[in-house]
Amino acid sequence: MEGKLKFKSLEDLQSQAKTGDISKFKLKNLCESSSKVWVKAMAEDVRLDEETSYILYWKYVLLCKSICQQADYKSDIKYYEGMYNIKKNMKTAVKRLETLSTSLDLKYEKLSNAETKRRLTDENEELAKTKITDDKRKKNKENIANGELKLNIMSVRELDSLIKQKSTSFFILDTRPEQDYHKGHINHPSSLSVPQEILSRGVTAHAIGRNIRIQERTQWERRATVDKLIICDWNSKEFIPGSPAFTLLTALTDWDRENTYRCAPVLLEGGYEKFRLAHPLQVTDPTFKMPVLQEVDRNKNILRLEDIIFPDLDSLDQGFIETPSPSPKMVPNFEPKSSRVQYPSLDGYTPSTVYSNPSTSTPLIPDRRTKPARSNGQDLDESSSSNAPRDDFNAAR
């Protein structure tokens, strides 16, 4: 269940989660300890105790990293993953840490504002805020007049000197896309990714701290303690309004009321691309270059008058234009199947019996009581069949 906050920042929680030197512990003991921490972290998460669950999840991630570095684990990964689900649980723990950090950050911010309001009386609260803001702006204007906060450009050679002399503290704020930063960046512990995806117009320094990666939030909170803040992009030579570098500069100088910097942020002249060419050994991947944008041929899709085909107006006086007949190949064959049937020919056929109309004549009925006389050794039927018409009806009987 949610209760009163015990700490004031995420740094305090992370300090509570430190495990110390555990490199000498046996792998089996580390796995058993990590399992217990995982079960307890999930239990506290169910109880909605965000601070305790954050500490336990953080401690579990540290234990998992130490386990993955053990030689015994690398030799038999399937066994330990099947027994303890180290990688799967670690991914879940990291996701929960990101969610809890966002929630706790908002609560700590509200707590800080509440403590500030308690120190101020109700009558002087608005006056105090206005006075602080006015004093800060006045001080910045005076420093600008004295040249202390004058916007400056740092060359690649000057940055190389800062890296080598190690007497001046600084942060390199890289505003390139996060994907490009992972592929190649200045190889120095002070390098910090502030990707352009989170640098929207009007963003504040506090909002940037909530949106950057959780591994870099501790460095971001220490930005006011260093001597110099160096803003870096791909190849800019000056602060251009609307660019990610200019947005970050505005967030640090105009929208960061809680901090006062020792000097104004500066821009690395030529950006990461120039530094990579000048000092290839001081970047993580010297072969990764600035992506080249393909130029679009704007004249490619332009319609020209000489390409337009106009109709012949003289042909309109001759009437409508004839529509061409379709190709024979395109005409479907609609010939009915019945036309292909072969019927017998009736040429030369003569019916054996001609029937007359009964209304006009009486049919001839032969006398069957006597046998017909023979002529030349043949019956009358045979002779009559050759001369007289054949009676098909009686022959069928």
User: Which segments in the chain show pLDDT lower than 50?
Assistant: 144-150, 294-300, 320, 331, 334, 337-339, 353-356, 359-360, 378-386, 396
The H or E element that residue 277 is part of is helix 271-278
Separation of alpha carbons 17 and 384, rounded Å: 134
Angle 366-368-372 from CA coordinates, rounded to 5°: 90
Question: pLDDT tens digit string along 161-190?
Answer: 999 888 889 999 999 999 999 999 999 999
Question: pLDDT tens digit string along 118-130?
Answer: 766 666 666 655 6
pLDDT of amino acid 226? 92
Looking at the whole model, is its pTM more than 0.85? no
pLDDT of amino acid 171? 93
Question: Which domains does the chain show, CATH number per domain?
Answer: 10-119 (1.20.58.80), 151-282 (3.40.250.10)
Count CA atoms within 13 Å of residue 83 on its CB side: 13
Q: Token pair of 282, please?
A: 């001081």
pLDDT of amino acid 188? 92
CB within 8 Å of 380: residues ≥ 6 apart? 371, 372, 373, 374
Contact 188, 80 (CB under 8 A): no
pLDDT of amino acid 273? 92
